[in-house]
A and B are shown apart, each in its own frame.
Chain A
Amino acid sequence: DAGITQSPRHKVTETGTPVTLRCHQTENHRYMYWYRQDPGHGLRLIHYSYGVKDTDKGEVSDGYSVSRSKTEDFLLTLESATSSQTSVYFCAITPTSGGSSVSTDTQYFGPGTRLTVL
């Protein structure tokens, strides 16, 4: 599982509230990603990070922000949750080779967070 954990695993919240999802990895990988998975849309990239304080937008970034102040943690924040953000959120990493910036390309996923916005 490449040492990836996500918290919380399940969350129910109300429209308009802020929500932060956490992705934690134990193996010092530089590359981390957030995806959402929805029926009919498959998995779509929200944001990604190539290192501490190095983040960028993916395909569906509106309404989401991220932060990466430590290599091991990648946080996804919904500033004001909406019902359209009800989804399953997956964190992923791409291992780097021997501490260098070279990616080994294979992507490994966390167990997911099921978020329901009422």
Chain B
Amino acid sequence: KQEVTQIPAALSVPEGENLVLNCSFTDSAIYNLQWFRQDPGKGLTSLLLIQSSQREQTSGRLNASLDKSSGRSTLYIAASQPGDSATYLCAVDKAAGNKLTFGGGTRVLVKP
């Protein structure tokens, strides 16, 4: 059974500092990995999707890397802003069909 872990569970940084969020998964046979953002009381917003054949994806200040063989993905957020405060979740899909297995999330607070 696939297990997805995100450490740390919570993170607090001063504004301007780069954020590094970690995601690990136990079964390296994945189809893709997705990063989501969730604001309190809201649904999830997709940030980045990395196919299993890719090593990284970038969108603006966000960069996600994938090392499938070691079962790890890292989300980098450059020059953090207070608006980046949210919970960030990673999820893996074992096969096409998008039945996602989620990590527990990392709650991020960016202090002005």
Query: How far does the Cβ of B105 sit from chain A's closest Cβ, in whole Å?
Result: 6
Does B32 touch A at the CB level, under 8 Å? yes
Q: How far is B45's CA from A45's CA once the two chains are assembled, in angstroms?
A: 17
Q: How far is B36's CA from A1's CA once the two chains are assembled, in angstroms?
A: 13
Total B residues in contact with A, Cβ cutoff 8 Å: 23
* Most chain B CB within a 10 A radius of its CB, from A40, A103, A106, A112: A106
> Are A112 and B42 touching (Cβ within 8 A)?
yes
Does B100 touch A at the CB level, under 8 Å? yes
Partner of A90, one of B44, B51, B93: B44
Chain A interface residues (CB < 8 Å from chain B): 1, 31, 33, 40-45, 48, 50, 58-59, 90, 92, 94, 103, 105-112
Chain B interface residues (CB < 8 Å from chain A): 32, 34, 36, 42-46, 49, 51, 89, 91, 93, 96-105
